[in-house]
Amino acid sequence: MKLSALATAAATAVVLLATGCTDPDAESAPTGAITFDLSAAQTGRVRAAKVDSIAAEVPQAIRGRGTLVVTGSSGTAPPLRFYADDDKTVVGSEIDFASLVADILGLKLDVRVADWAQNFVRIDSGEVDAFVSNVTVTEERKEKYDFATYRHDTVALEVPAQSTLEFKDRTSLAGKRIGVGSGTNQEQLLVKWNEQNRAQGLAPIDIAYFQQTSDYYLALASQRLDGFIGPNPTAIYHTATAKQTKILGTFSGAGDALQGEIAVLTKKNSGLVTAVQRALNHAIETGTYQQVIDRWGLQSEQVTESRINPPGLPKQR
């Protein structure tokens, strides 16, 4: 989504952050203001020095090329991955994490953009090295890809500001029109909830699918949706800046039984994931990871270590 779709022309945006609440009955509390850099220049991007011992783990083909080719979605929004104020440069926290990894591996970052499903195709074909765009670890994806984690996966239920909906659990969504990103783990979670609701004899959830963030923003603003389930960081940003919506609750993107995790995705057995994981753990140990977390207001999603292929969102039956 381009920045113009956010109805802002400024190079920076100040957002009053709220803590995510896993208990939907608890109200979110303001924790302070953060200034997001929406400019193409990104002069405040966190950088790191090359670590030779970690760089040596990179497959020779990538080392010889000298670049880390990273793809991601074009349809997300601040603070994750979005177009800057020039409407062409992709910036955000996901770019900063990828940049840190590239720096530590001694590589130049090459940022690519594609629709969500096409990112997987590009990994499959070997056109790109890594997919870094709020990608959740799932058991199904682990069959084809390797993962190195770097954030918790927290999703939010965002509703129109005028909504009177009270969210207690999945049953609160029965009979409601709820939007979700097509092909995402949020879709998988919502479909599962719908199946469970129907098994209890409840009205089905009317699931509406979206590819572009700007489209569901408009649907929420016009109250054509009762709610939208998406990444918590994006929901926090949007509710604070547009002031047309509110967050009713937050929860793990993997469901009740597991804390979901966001990870760098690489092709299975490509040999790259170990280097990426070591780079992320080095960034955590040296504090540069924390600087990126703080820069984009992601404190509620930070991790203490990067893990390779941890338990993921279960397969749908």
Query: Do 186 and 140 share a structural domain?
Result: no
- How high is the pLDDT of residue 63? 97
- How high is the pLDDT of residue 20? 37
Query: Do 264 and 148 share a structural domain?
Result: yes
- How high is the pLDDT of residue 13? 63
Domain for residue 37, yes or no? no
Tally of domains in the chain: 2
| Measured torsion, CA atoms of residues 31, 35, 36, 38, in degrees rounded to the nearest 10 | 160
Q: Are the C-beta atoms of residues 92 and 81 closer than 8 Å to each other?
A: yes
Cis amide leading into 79 (omega within 30): yes
Q: Which residue has the tokens 């995402």?
A: 184
Query: Do 235 and 273 share a structural domain?
Result: no
Query: Do 269 and 200 share a structural domain?
Result: no
Domain for residue 307, yes or no? no
- Which regions in the chain score pLDDT beneath 70? 1-33, 75-76, 316-317
- How high is the pLDDT of residue 130? 98
Residue where a domain terminates, one of 234, 252, 270: 252
Looking at residue 88, which CATH number applies to its domain? 3.40.190.10
Domain extent for 225: 155-252
Q: Are the C-beta atoms of residues 301 and 41 closer than 8 Å to each other?
A: no
Query: Do 180 and 145 share a structural domain?
Result: no
Query: Do 197 and 147 share a structural domain?
Result: no
Q: State the amino acid at position 311 in one-letter form.
A: P
Query: Do 90 and 127 share a structural domain?
Result: yes
Domain for residue 131, yes or no? yes
Neighbours of 265 (CB within 10 A): 26
- How high is the pLDDT of residue 35? 80
Query: Do 264 and 147 share a structural domain?
Result: yes
Query: Do 169 and 126 share a structural domain?
Result: no
Domain for residue 122, yes or no? yes
Domain for residue 58, yes or no? yes
Q: Are strands 12-18 and 82-83 parallel, antiparallel or unpaired?
A: unpaired
Domain for residue 129, yes or no? yes
Domain for residue 295, yes or no? yes
Q: Are the C-beta atoms of residues 74 and 114 closer than 8 Å to each other?
A: yes
Query: Do 95 and 228 share a structural domain?
Result: no
Q: Are the C-beta atoms of residues 111 and 70 closer than 8 Å to each other?
A: yes
Query: Do 189 and 60 share a structural domain?
Result: no
Q: Are the C-beta atoms of residues 135 and 262 closer than 8 Å to each other?
A: yes
Q: Which residue has the tokens 């504090």?
A: 287
Query: Do 270 and 213 share a structural domain?
Result: no
- How high is the pLDDT of residue 7? 35
Query: pLDDT for 201-240, tens place per residue?
Result: 999 999 999 988 889 999 999 999 999 999 999 998 898 8
Query: pLDDT for 50-90, tens place per residue?
Result: 999 999 999 999 999 999 999 998 766 789 999 999 999 99
- How high is the pLDDT of residue 33? 66
Domain for residue 6, yes or no? no
Q: What is the Cα 141 distance to its own chain's centre?
A: 16
